[in-house]
Amino acid sequence: MADRFIIIDSNALLHRAFHALPPLANKNGQPTGAVYGYLLTLFKAVKDLKANFIVATFDTKAKTFRHHEFTDYKANRAATPDGIISQIPIAKEVLSAFSIPVFAKDGFEADDLIATIAVQAEKTGAEVFIVSGDLDNLQLVTEKIKVYTLGKGIKDTIIYDAKKDRERFGVDPKQMIDFKALTGDPSDNVPGVPGIGKTTAAEIINKFNSIDNLYSELATDTAALKTKVKKDLKNNKETALLSRHLVETKKDVDIDFNLAECRFDFDVKKAENKLRELDFNSLIERVVQLKN
């Protein structure tokens, strides 16, 4: 069987767990619910996918190149709750106890690290699964790269391959960047083209295959589109191209990644002690199962 490699989108999973689970704290009063939910998802993913290689990625506090190129990037996003921020170091401590490498780099988002790692791992022949709480990484889906994401709560999961991607959004994974260039991404304050919703965007992308082809035909006035749609697209070309640039993840971030160093192998006692320290007693009995 080919190597199976999990890339954990840590910030997304911690956010999802924090909002999905009731408050939880250890005996010292430190909030731990997000980390608990994070581990529930990780343990389930390891079991479901039979993964033998794992890394974790995190955002940093530093602004990214996207903020510098578009000052309103993520401007409407609420501040991360203190309850999540205080648990990020704890999550990293747990990952260390399980000997899972952690990647983070100022100037880039975790999604850029995920893309870089996924592409490099794919070249080794490994099956790659991006474990996340959202769908921002669907643009990376190939025959070897899939997105393992959460459904309702943190227990239901969905694996997105190319077929599932098209069923959900009406476009292929390689078209997701152009699709989001038109629709925008409200969660990141990426503008897109005003007036173009998901259904219209999918129709446009399927008709022209890419926004480059779309704007080539608009320039010669040969694009077969409704008058209002043509007007919206023409008037917002620069915005569409900027949006595409913002949503496309970088696949060449300079990081020291080596798949061989990410094999999932850990000291059981060390992992159990860390979980005991956090009062995660219900998870301790599952640690040995992760090794088998």
Which CATH number covers residue 141?
3.40.50.1010
Q: What does the pLDDT look like over 180-211, one tens digit per residue?
A: 999 999 989 999 999 999 999 999 999 999 99
The H or E element that residue 158 is part of is strand 157-160
Closest CA to 242 of 203, 190, 278: 190
If asked whether residues 114 and 184 sit together in one domain, one would say no
Q: How many separate helices (H) and strands (E) can be counted in the chain?
A: 15, 6
Q: What percent of the chain has pLDDT over 90?
A: 81
Q: What is the mean pLDDT of the segment spanning 12-38?
A: 92
If asked whether residues 193 and 165 sit together in one domain, one would say no
Contacts of 136 (CB under 8 A, 6+ apart): 12, 111, 249
Tell whether the torsion through CA atoms of 173, 153, 31 and 36 is positive or negative. negative
If asked whether residues 156 and 272 sit together in one domain, one would say yes
Number of domains in the chain: 2
If asked whether residues 27 and 79 sit together in one domain, one would say yes
If asked whether residues 57 and 107 sit together in one domain, one would say yes
If asked whether residues 66 and 209 sit together in one domain, one would say no
Tell me the pTM: 0.95
The pLDDT confidence band at residue 156, using thresholds 50, 70 and 90, is confident
State which amino acid sits at residue 254.
D
The C-alpha torsion from 34 through 39 and 40 to 42, rounded to 10°, is 130
DSSP state of 122: H
Contacts of 52 (CB under 8 A, 6+ apart): 3, 4, 5, 263, 264
Answer whether residue 1 shows pLDDT above 70: no
DSSP 170-219: SS-GGGHHHHHHHH-BGGGTB---TT--HHHHHHHHHHHSSHHHHHHHHH
Q: What is the mean pLDDT of the segment spanning 34-48?
A: 95
Q: What is the domain extent for residue 233? A: 173-247
Q: What does the pLDDT look like over 71-84, one tens digit per residue?
A: 999 988 888 899 99
Q: What is the mean pLDDT of the segment spanning 12-24?
A: 91
Let me know: does 113 contact 255? Beta carbons within 8 Å: yes
Tell whether the torsion through CA atoms of 91, 94, 100 and 102 is positive or negative. positive
If asked whether residues 28 and 83 sit together in one domain, one would say yes
Which pair of tokens denotes residue 152? 């309702």
Q: What does the pLDDT look like over 58-75, one tens digit per residue?
A: 999 999 999 999 999 998
Q: How far is CA 265 from CA 120, 258, 290, in A?
A: 21, 15, 9
Neighbours of 203 (CB within 10 A): 15
If asked whether residues 188 and 262 sit together in one domain, one would say no
Q: How far is CA 138 from CA 38, 90, 219, in A?
A: 21, 28, 30
The half-sphere exposure of 195 on its side-chain side, counting CA atoms within 13 A, is 12
**Tokens 């490994």 map to which residue?**
126
If asked whether residues 82 and 27 sit together in one domain, one would say yes
Answer whether residue 155 shows pLDDT above 80: no
If asked whether residues 59 and 112 sit together in one domain, one would say yes
